[in-house]
Amino acid sequence: MSIHGQWSSKILFIFAATGSAVGLGNIWKFPWMTAENGGGAFVIIYILSVILLALPIMAAEILIGKRGKQNPINSLRTLSNEASFYLKKQPDDLLNRTSNVKKRFEDRDIFSNWELIGWMGILAGILILSFYSVIAGWTISYIFKSLTGSFVLITAAGSSAKFESFISDPEKLILWHTIFMILTCFIVSRGIKSGIESAIKFLIPGLFIILVGLAIYSSTLKGFSVAMNYFFIVDFDKINSSVVLSAMSMAFFSLSIGMGSLMVYGSYLPDDTSVFQVSSAVAFSDTLVAILAGIIIFPIVFTYNLDPSAAGPGLIFQTLPIAFGAMDYGSFISTTFFILLFFAAITSSISLIEPAITFFVEKFSITRTHATNILGLLTWFLGIFTVLSFNNLSSFTFFGMTIFDNLDYLTSKIMLPLGGLLMALFVGYVMNKGIVQKELNTNQGIIDIWFMIIKVFSPILLVIIFIQGIL
């Protein structure tokens, strides 16, 4: 058992891992990505990509954590040593099959430095949280805006002006960023059972209740049937290389792979847990959230003749308020929707900082509260630069991008795909196969397919995603 504790049940792990995966991107990015990439054509490729790409790598990350029982860095170091030990025990003829394998074994280069995956994941989590907290803070602000009727009968120009005025005020953004970071740190500082478990017991069921409730409401709108045809009917003529690449990228990033979050959550799993079963449950739940988000948003945008392809925050903070302001009970629906976004954001944020906290606790033998205060303050401070990139420092650019855009590019285009690739290689080629089979704990046919994917297809696809992202 991890020194940090253990999940009270497998369902709580599924809740926590789902919360880690389900973030703001699932709710705003999936719909506009669908709109930009052919509707139902994108959805079907996305689902296939989750099964064939994201799920195997997610299982690999959880497996590393469950086996290592420590922070991501120490887990990878321990498993590297374990892999070396098991290879040493093999008959000499195995080592002598090729001189290259033997030399690499003797030099230990295939077992060294894999802990860099953990370092990269921890760093990526802190960097992502630094700007994620800023955006998540907007959801809190918009909850209050909705409660006070700010969107009633608002026009497109009025909605855009309100949003631009909001992000141009650094003091307001810092305030909401600070509130969100305090809430995140309060939860994680209390530990697994009193903090994370207690929070997700409320947040995840609440998130799904709100999702289902809003989906039921959307089904009553006049644009529902048109939206569902657009969302679920597959026009195979629209499937091309661009759609496939976009769907693969979305599937990979939607499951929060490569940040160490699932690795550290996996370290709290009981020994008898089937990694494949819990991974499948998390992938299903995450995909369900994305589908429900589409069922909620598309009927709204089609009913009120809005643009569903508005990119990212624009769809949520500028486009949808126009519809909320025009509909019956709009203030209630708007408030509920932004509460949904906040729930999704906070469950992700606690997972982003958790890997770094476990490392600090184990490395420096300090209390969880002390580690949380240090890392929370550091993350908050870094977030100030994201705040300023929307206003005072908006003209300050590197490589033609703002500070926020650079952080997003570094983490999403480089660090996460590279981390996912290295984890696939580590589990597929370095870890002892028998141990991997034991941790997956499912039937042999599925295991054989999983190994084929993780050793061949996943690395190839991740290299493609990586190259596409940086070009």
pLDDT in tens, 305-342: 887 666 567 778 888 899 999 988 889 999 999 999 99
Return the pLDDT at 230.
87
Identify which of 201, 143, 214 has the alpha carbon closest to the alpha carbon of residue 347: 201
d(CA 167, CA 390): 6
Specify the CATH number for the domain of residue 313.
Answer: 1.20.1740
Q: How large is the average pLDDT for residues 88-104? A: 50
Within a domain: residue 5?
no
Q: How large is the average pLDDT for residues 340-357? A: 95
Residue 198 in this model has a pLDDT that exceeds 70? yes
Within a domain: residue 4?
no
Residue 162 in this model has a pLDDT that exceeds 90? yes
Within a domain: residue 1?
no
Residue 110 in this model has a pLDDT that exceeds 70? no
Residue 254 in this model has a pLDDT that exceeds 60? yes
Summarize pLDDT for 361-412 with one digit per residue, the tens: 999 999 999 999 999 999 999 999 999 999 999 999 888 899 999 999 999 8
pLDDT band at 23 (very low <50, low <70, confident <90, very high): confident
Return the pLDDT at 316.
84
Summarize pLDDT for 266-288 with one digit per residue, the tens: 999 998 899 999 999 999 999 99
Summarize pLDDT for 445-460 with one digit per residue, the tens: 999 999 999 999 999 9
Residue 156 in this model has a pLDDT that exceeds 80? yes
Residue 94 in this model has a pLDDT that exceeds 50? no
Within a domain: residue 376?
yes
* Amino acid of residue 10: K
Positive/negative CA dihedral, 42, 48, 53, 55:
positive
Q: What percent of the chain has pLDDT over 90?
A: 66
Phi, psi of 400, rounded to the nearest 5 degrees: 75, 10
Provide the domain limits for residue 98. 10-470
Summarize pLDDT for 39-49 with one digit per residue, the tens: 888 999 999 99
Return the pLDDT at 88.
55
d(CA 26, CA 410): 20
Phi, psi of 391, rounded to the nearest 5 degrees: -145, -90
Q: Under a CB-based contact definition with an 8 Å cutoff, are residues 160 and 409 in contact?
A: no
d(CA 317, CA 325): 12
Q: What is the 3-state secondary structure (H, E, C) of the chain?
A: CCCCCCCCCHHHHHHHHHHHHCCHHHHHHHHHHHHHCCCHHHHHHHHHHHHHHHHHHHHHHHHHHHHHCCCHHHHHHHHHHHHHHHHHCCCHHHHCCCHHHHHHHHHCCCCCCCCHHHHHHHHHHHHHHHHHHHHHHHHHHHHHHHHCCCCCCCCHHHHHHHHHHHHCCHHHHHHHHHHHHHHHHHHHHCHHHHHHHHHHHHHHHHHHHHHHHHHHHHCCCCCHHHHHHHHHCCCHHHCCHHHHHHHHHHHHHHCCCCCCHHHHHHCCCCCCCCHHHHHHHHHHHHHHHHHHHHHHHHHHHHHCCCCCCCCCHHHHHHHHHHHHHHCCCHHHHHHHHHHHHHHHHHHHHHHHHHHHHHHHHHHHCCCHHHHHHHHHHHHHHHHHHHHHHCCCCCCCCECCECHHHHHHHHHHHHHHHHHHHHHHHHHHHHCCHHHHHHHHCCCHHHHHHHHHHHHHHHHHHHHHHHHHHHC
Q: Which two tokens stand for residue 315?
A: 């769809």
Q: Which two tokens stand for residue 62?
A: 């959880």
Within a domain: residue 213?
yes
d(CA 462, CA 60): 14
What global pTM score does this model have? 0.91
Q: How large is the average pLDDT for residues 433-453? A: 92
d(CA 394, CA 171): 15
Number of compact structural domains in the chain? 1
Q: What is the mean pLDDT of the chain?
A: 89
In angstroms, how far apart are the furthest CA atoms of the chain?
78
Q: Which two tokens stand for residue 178?
A: 């600070």
Within a domain: residue 401?
yes
Q: Alpha-carbon Rg of the chain, whole angstroms?
A: 22
Q: How large is the average pLDDT for residues 181-187? A: 97
d(CA 128, CA 379): 9
Half-sphere exposure of 408 (CA within 13 A, CB side): 14
Q: What angle do CA 415, 288, 451 make, to 5 degrees?
A: 55
Pairwise pLDDT comparison (347 vs 312), residue with the higher score? 347
Within a domain: residue 233?
yes
pLDDT band at 240 (very low <50, low <70, confident <90, very high): confident
Within a domain: residue 3?
no
